[in-house]
Amino acid sequence: MIVLGVESSCDETGLALYDTEQGLLAHALHSQVEMHAEYGGVVPELASRDHIRRVLPLTENVLKTANKTLQDIDAIAYTQGPGLSGALLVGTSFAESLAFSLQIPTINVHHLEGHLLAPLLEANPPAFPFVALLVSGGHSQLMRVDGIGEYELLGDTLDDAAGEAFDKTAKLLGLGYPGGPALSKLAQSGKARFKLPRPLLNSGDLNFSFSGLKTAVLTLVNQHQPLDAATTADIAWEFQEAVTEILTLKCMTALRETGLDNLVVSGGVGANSKLREKLNAATKRKLCKVSYPRLEFCTDNGAMIAFAGAMRLKAMHGNGNGNKNYGFSVRPRWDLAELQKPAI
Ligand code: KG4
Ligand code: ZN
């Protein structure tokens, strides 16, 4: 079965073709980062308009790369939410109308389920059950995953998400948008000089809180005006150290408390090399396994949506399942806990 995946929930248009027999056939992405950079963040209306421009050429691109035609597609999976409503509407209406014209089923995918399952696209994928750390621009969650649609929330952020904290701190340091990768790069030239707090590190639960960290950075920035390059790098170093230390400790606690020995990391912050370094070392010490998506599939992409859709179709024992009512609706707010096991 060949599934076309469509991702358009925020500022990336992602298309992909996934074959349940042969794996990922092709994927293509257009990032709007440069377009939004001058505004310092995503401008929703510009995002929607750009998705409209990109979605068809990217579809042609993946079909050509995979040497397939529209008639080879068995189902279309698309991100129905959560995300920006206008942006989601582009992918949704495109997917539903194309599926209608081809008379094939659609599968509405939860964006976070896409992220969560992205590490399973790699060779030697982890087996269920596992603990998942989902760290993106909008989420910082720890979950117990027993199968497709079987997600138990173990811990969540009480305020800012990890990626959001990276982005806001980067802005305070004058690093522009999006801040996570820029801050992480700058931190490489920094050193241990400042000490930031580690909020909720020893809270005894699996929740996170990152907004206080950002405020502590603001205090440091104000104390060291005008900021020179070395000080900026040292603050970036310590900020990254604090966030990755907290994430690592909470992951290890989650593994211990669930009794599981498999950790899966996904979402944009999962691309952070310091986080990977710390998690690799900590899981190795405890004889646990840790899996990540390849770097390009940490951030938003169509492959994870095609894959999540294919997994759902497969769990429904395939052909003919999925939706064939071709309705248009998006779910800008959608709790992952609402997802259920695919009905057979
Ligand atoms: O998963 P994603 O593409 O979008 C959401 O669904 O939110 O994640 C984007 C987030 C941004 O906040 C970005 O700054 C952060 O991931 N990010 C990073 C790195 N690469 C992306 N944060 C820290 N280090 C990185 N290398
Ligand atoms: Zn995302």
pLDDT tens string 237-258: 999 999 999 999 999 999 999 9
Same domain as 156, residue 278: yes
CA 115 to ligand 1: nearest atom:
1
Per-residue model confidence (pLDDT) at position 321: 60
Q: Does residue 123 sit within a domain?
A: no
At residue 209, does pLDDT exceed 60?
yes
Choose one of 273, 292, 311: the last residue of a domain.
292
User: Could you say which ligand is closest to the alpha carbon of residue 304?
Assistant: 2
Name the percent of the chain lying above pLDDT 70. Answer: 98
Per-residue model confidence (pLDDT) at position 141: 96
Is the C-beta atom of 271 inside 6 A of ligand 1? yes
At residue 35, does pLDDT exceed 60?
yes
Per-residue model confidence (pLDDT) at position 102: 97
Q: Report the separation in Å between the CA atom of 266 and the middle of ligand 2, taken as the mean of its atom positions.
A: 9
Is the C-beta atom of 184 inside 6 A of ligand 1? yes
- Specify the residue with its C-alpha closest to ligand 1, atom 3: 299
Q: Does residue 343 sit within a domain?
A: no
User: Could you say which ligand is closest to the alpha carbon of residue 111?
Assistant: 2
Alpha-carbon span 232 to 253, nearest angstrom = 32
Per-residue pLDDT, averaged over 179-193, amounts to 97
Find the helix or strand (DSSP H, E) in which 289 lies.
Answer: strand 289-291
Strand partners, 15: 6, 28
CB atoms within 10 A of CB 116: 26
Strand partners, 95: none
Same domain as 193, residue 64: no
Spatial CB neighbours of 101, under 8 Å, sequence gap ≥ 6? none
Q: Report the separation in Å between the CA atom of 136 and the middle of ligand 2, taken as the mean of its atom positions.
A: 6
Q: Does residue 308 sit within a domain?
A: yes
Same domain as 242, residue 147: yes
At residue 161, does pLDDT exceed 90?
yes
Of all residues in the chain, what percent are helix, strand and coil, respectively (each to 5)?
Answer: 45, 20, 35
Per-residue model confidence (pLDDT) at position 106: 96
CATH code of residue 139: 3.30.420.40
Is the C-beta atom of 163 inside 6 A of ligand 1? yes
Probe target for ligand 1 pocket from 113, 139, 166, 276, with the most ligand atoms within 8 Å of CB: 166
Tokens of 283: 């899981």
- Specify the residue with its C-alpha closest to ligand 1, atom 10: 137
CA distances from 291 to 19, 198, 272, 276 (A): 22, 25, 14, 10
Tokens of 267: 């979402």
Q: Report the separation in Å between the CA atom of 101 and the middle of ligand 1, taken as the mean of its atom positions.
A: 36
Q: Does residue 179 sit within a domain?
A: yes
Per-residue model confidence (pLDDT) at position 323: 82
Same domain as 64, residue 15: yes
At residue 322, does pLDDT exceed 80?
no
**H helical segments located in the chain:** 33-37, 44-66, 85-102, 111-117, 162-172, 179-187, 211-223, 229-258, 273-285, 303-315
At residue 338, does pLDDT exceed 80?
yes
Per-residue pLDDT, averaged over 306-316, amounts to 93
Mean pLDDT of the chain: 95
Same domain as 288, residue 305: no
Residue range of the domain that includes 102: 2-116+299-338
Per-residue model confidence (pLDDT) at position 328: 83
Per-residue pLDDT, averaged over 185-194, amounts to 98
Same domain as 26, residue 69: yes
* Orientation angle between helical segments 162-172 and 211-223, nearest 10 degrees: 10
Is the C-beta atom of 178 inside 6 A of ligand 1? yes
Is the C-beta atom of 269 inside 6 A of ligand 1? yes
Per-residue model confidence (pLDDT) at position 343: 78
Alpha-carbon span 329 to 137, nearest angstrom = 24
Q: Report the separation in Å between the CA atom of 272 and the middle of ligand 2, taken as the mean of its atom positions.
A: 15
Per-residue model confidence (pLDDT) at position 23: 97
* Orientation angle between helical segments 229-258 and 273-285, nearest 10 degrees: 40
Same domain as 171, residue 69: no
Same domain as 274, residue 161: yes
Q: Does residue 27 sit within a domain?
A: yes
How many structural domains comprise the chain? 2
Using CA of residue 163, residue 168, residue 171, residue 177, what is the dihedral sign?
positive
Q: Does residue 148 sit within a domain?
A: yes
Same domain as 133, residue 83: no
pLDDT bucket at 318, cuts 50 / 70 / 90: low
Q: Does residue 231 sit within a domain?
A: yes
Q: Does residue 344 sit within a domain?
A: no
At residue 337, does pLDDT exceed 90?
no
At residue 133, does pLDDT exceed 60?
yes
Per-residue model confidence (pLDDT) at position 269: 97
Per-residue pLDDT, averaged over 11-31, amounts to 97
Same domain as 215, residue 84: no
Same domain as 82, residue 34: yes
- Specify the residue with its C-alpha closest to ligand 1, atom 16: 268
CA triplet 130, 131, 137: central angle to 5 degrees?
A: 130
Same domain as 306, residue 251: no
